[in-house]
Homo-oligomer: A and B are copies of this chain.
Amino acid sequence: MTTTGKQLFTTLTADGKLTLEVAESQFPTPTGNQVLVRMEGAPINPSDLAILTSAADFETAEYSPGKVVAQMPEPFLSGQKGRHGQRLTAGNEGAGEVIATGDSDMAKALLGKRVACVPGHAFSQYAIADAKMCLPLGDHSSEEGASSFVNPMTALGFVETARMEGHSAIIHLAAASNLGQMLNKICLEDGMQLVNIVRKQDHVDLLKALGATHVVNSSDDDYMAQLRAAIKDTGAFLGFDPIGGGQNTDHVLKAMEQVASSQMGEYSRYGSNQDKKMYMYGRLDLGPTILTPSYGLQWQVAGWLLTPFLAKAGMETVVKMRTRVQQNLTTTFASHYKAKVNLEEMLTKPAITDYRQMKTGEKYLVTPWG
């Protein structure tokens, strides 16, 4: 017996046509540890946009009800060669009610409950999810629980990564984001020092109002001096950058090196012996990353991705992190939405034009029955 419902699909063909469309789908009866969730809310995260919009031209796209066809430019077309011709589902996470389950005790225990889940096809009226990754929401609404995985686990993951690598301070770029605000709260709770970098005075004010001690504005003329002072104060030589493109990471590494070399007794032609590391965990800017030769040879730049991190951290740590999220869902880990759209509204020009900009504090929630 299958269940029928509407679902979003994204297809990129070799000729560069990206098609997003809402179509009817059949959802199978869950087996084993699976649960069938009637989805009530799913956030559009930056990580979803990689597969939804990428760098396609939605200005000149063809829009029809529940469908949009846009052109994908190079090098993003050939860069996604692996998906050419495949009809993919989308939506990492969301929340809803469990209406059927597989045979496992863990799955059966969730029947009738509202849960947060990570099905990978959350932009849908129904989803098949792994019971192990479901978080029972108790009295919380699906709106409150829809974003309980990607951002909370990423923010907690940054702090855990810093600890695992022996750091007691973190630098965070684009720090006024939903994720950035969570990170700020976690760092305050855990006594981890945090240097927040933002681009607007509004965001400085916002983070300071949330108790942030170090907030640096990269639009200020004395940005580098502010940044050096904050690094000196905190000893932060590890950073996380969701922007990727341009020189954001380069400038942070340069400031780290300037602080480190000013603290050295003797000049070294190879730069300071201080380890300096920046993680890129996103690509808000799809342009190339520029690294200048201005911080010696004692540095690292690396990608950071949630799934391999969780695998590395181990089950015990992951369970601890999930429990902490569950217990603080409407405080530390609260998410806010600018707008709610159903699946068809999600594919209109005004909506796409707005949410693809990924502006700070302007997240969308997809409510597939709305």
Residue A280 CB within 8 A of the other chain: yes
Chain B contacts of A42 at CB under 8 A?
none
- Whether the pair B305, A302 counts as a contact (CB closer than 8 A) is no
Residue A211 CB within 8 A of the other chain: no
| A289 nearest in chain B by CB position | B291
Residue A30 CB within 8 A of the other chain: no
Cβ-neighbour of A297 out of B245, B268, B280, B300 (below 8 A): B280
Q: Mark A73-97, 1 if CB is under 8 A from B, else 0.
A: 0010001001100101000000000
Q: Mark A347-360, 1 if CB is under 8 A from B, else 0.
A: 00000000000000
Residue A304 CB within 8 A of the other chain: yes
Chain B contacts of A301 at CB under 8 A?
291, 300-302
- Whether the pair B83, A267 counts as a contact (CB closer than 8 A) is yes
Chain B contacts of A47 at CB under 8 A?
269-270
Q: Mark A251-267, 1 if CB is under 8 A from B, else 0.
A: 00000000001101001
A297 and B288 contact, Cβ closer than 8 Å, known pairs A50-B269, A50-B270, A88-B267: no
What CA separation (Å) do A297 and B309 show in the bound complex?
A: 12
| A10 nearest in chain B by CB position | B269
Which of A267, A269, A281 counts the most chain B CB atoms within 10 A? A269
- Whether the pair A244, B293 counts as a contact (CB closer than 8 A) is yes
Question: What is A's interface to B at a CB cutoff of 8 Å?
Answer: 47, 50-51, 75, 79, 82-83, 86, 88, 244-245, 250, 261-262, 264, 267-270, 273, 280-281, 283, 286, 288-294, 296-305, 307-308
Q: Report 8 cross-chain contacts, Cβ distance below 8 Å, ordered by A residue.
A: A47-B269, A82-B264, A245-B293, A280-B297, A289-B290, A291-B291, A297-B303, A299-B302
Please give 17 more A-B residue pairs, beta carbons under 8 A apart, in addition to A50-B269, A299-B302. A51-B269, A75-B292, A79-B293, A82-B262, A82-B267, A86-B267, A88-B267, A273-B308, A288-B291, A288-B293, A289-B291, A289-B292, A289-B293, A291-B301, A296-B305, A297-B304, A300-B300
